[in-house]
Structure 1
């Protein structure tokens, strides 16, 4: 899923028929089947004898391994609620900032953990950024095929890098689908809160190459989702570091293509890179119990010396606090793993181990 889900699209395009490959197809059934099955039953069953097959209600309750017995759709519903539970947003009107926080509802006493703090850029910065959007339009002819293919996301492109296939990597597909659902919910809440106008709303000369989504610009949903997939796959794959260069180049290219299309400012991509990485940190922690650091992006500082305009640069470190706009806290906090999400993670990890 992605910001384009608001247009009836979804990220789609690659994890075996979409980020998640769907919610499980119902059995093929023709209208005549119901009548045929009823007639067939009448000819077979004879006098009803009650419950003849031994059974026992499962115990204990809420055993994670039972997720394997569910269809994809119900399993995804269970895990999606688990992943989103405890997330909340704090708004600071004076600092024009919003913070994504997490409270583990299963731990007492409750403790609030900040995951990502975003500060909105100024009007001056958005006006400066518009010049870059106009300049990027010169690449539309060169990037046109990619822009169209990525309207509903970049799943096919990531699959091409890591060799993901629907028949071999069922749980990986579902884990990525969960990640995209997480990103969609979080980015849409930030977009609503910050309410930043799209480039086309600042100038009639932008003339986007594809339809502009019906929601705000900052942060970029495609950039958020691409960098979430980028970081998550590096953590998931047994040799994730070997894929790092190609995955990061791909995430950056997907983000920049949205500027080329006239839909996003470079600063949208810069914050999407931060937010996607922060969401990956959180998801890995909820699946494995890993520690994480609070991340931040100060859009007011996304400029050069004397306030000059700057472009999105994926080479800028998000960890050394030298850029001024990317922020990383020095302390770390542990997040307890969810048993349900831990089950899904282990299933996905196992799919990448060679069969001996």
Structure 2
């Protein structure tokens, strides 16, 4: 594929079929869910810490954002994939969050199980709680399920 800039031909170093918008297909196909979940949480944590250092967020903001992001991702996954069978409902108890502490995402999410922890913080006064709820086939969105299957099929045999 040739492109021109001011009449001069430009040839890309990589052909478009070899790279994607998120990460390389070959790389992503070899990463299991645990490692991928860990990588995503580490990236989000770095961004959150930088925002705290920059003075635009408090650690509590990062904790609430992580809870919201994990809960929404779980909900959307349940809407897309009828085989999931559950979704997570989470609560944040702001007065119990240790204001002097930094937010550590490990207290909230188990990458190896791809689940939010049921209790985050001390058992006697947790700052976050999560409950798994069973989903039914009526909850699944047919258009989102179709899109989910299409996306999954693109990553087969890579």
> What's the TM-score, normalizing by structure 1?
0.31
Q: Which residue of 2 aligns with 1:77?
A: none
Q: Is the 8 A contact 1:168 1:351 kept in 2?
A: no
- 2:134 paired with 1:333: yes
- 2:149 paired with 1:346: yes
Q: Which residue of 2 aligns with 1:312?
A: 103
Q: Give the alignment's Cα RMSD to 1 decimal.
A: 2.9
Deviation at 1:264, TM superposition (A): 0.8
Q: Is the 8 A contact 1:298 1:325 kept in 2?
A: yes
Q: C-alpha distance in 1, partners of 2:151/2:57?
A: 33
Greater per-residue helix proportion: 1
Q: 1:251 to 1:167 in 2, by over 3 A?
A: closer
Q: C-alpha distance in 1, partners of 2:129/2:22?
A: 40
- 2:20 paired with 1:165: yes
Deviation at 1:244, TM superposition (A): 2.7
Q: C-alpha distance in 2, partners of 1:168/1:316?
A: 28
Deviation at 1:322, TM superposition (A): 4.7
Q: Is the 8 A contact 2:96 2:127 kept in 1?
A: yes
Q: Which residue of 2 aligns with 1:298?
A: 93
Q: C-alpha distance in 2, partners of 1:312/1:164?
A: 34
- Per-residue CA deviations over 1:191-230 (Å, capped at 9, x if unaligned) read xxxxxxxxxxxxxxxxxxxxxxxxxxxxxxxxxxxxxxxx
> What's the TM-score, normalizing by structure 2?
0.66
Q: Which residue of 1 aligns with 2:50?
A: 257
Within the candidate set 119, 122, 127, 1:321 is matched to: 119
Aligned residues: 122
Q: Is the 8 A contact 1:295 1:327 kept in 2?
A: yes
Greater per-residue strand proportion: 2
State the secondary structure of the residue aligned to 1:296. Answer: strand
Q: C-alpha distance in 2, partners of 1:164/1:284?
A: 25
- Per-residue CA deviations over 1:151-174 (Å, capped at 9, x if unaligned) read xxxxxxxxxxxx9714999xxxxx
Deviation at 1:349, TM superposition (A): 1.1
Q: C-alpha distance in 2, partners of 1:244/1:337?
A: 23
Q: C-alpha distance in 2, partners of 1:167/1:245?
A: 16
Q: C-alpha distance in 1, partners of 2:21/2:89?
A: 34
Q: Which runs of 5+ in 1 are unaligned?
A: 1-162, 170-233
Q: 1:259 to 1:167 in 2, by over 3 A?
A: closer
Deviation at 1:295, TM superposition (A): 0.9
- 2:74 paired with 1:272: no
Q: 1:242 to 1:312 in 2, by over 3 A?
A: closer
